[in-house]
Amino acid sequence: MAHTIITIDLLLSLILGYFGRHQTMGFWGLFFASVLLTPIIGFILLLVTRRNEAPKSISP
């Protein structure tokens, strides 16, 4: 039973990391936050962090 809960927790953390790869925390930041805290907290972090903006090119 414990193995199932750990597996589900890691899978949810991987999914959250995947969706957060373009956020300010990035994949690894959101993944480790989800693993260390809970996937629920990771989901909240995913909702409140900003999306990375593409760098604006400066025209000469």
- pLDDT category at 9 given cuts 50, 70, 90 is very high
Are 10 and 30 spatial neighbours (Cβ–Cβ below 8 Å)? Answer: no
Q: pLDDT at residue 54 above 70?
A: no
What is the rounded CA–CA span in Å between residue 46 and residue 31? 10
- pLDDT category at 1 given cuts 50, 70, 90 is confident
User: Using one digit for the tens of pLDDT, what is the confidence trace for 15-41?
Assistant: 999 998 888 888 999 999 999 999 999
- Extents of the domains making up the chain: 2-48
pLDDT for the residue 55: 63
- What percent of the chain has a predicted confidence (pLDDT) above 70? 88
CB under 8 Å to 24, separation ≥6 — which residues? 49, 50, 51, 52
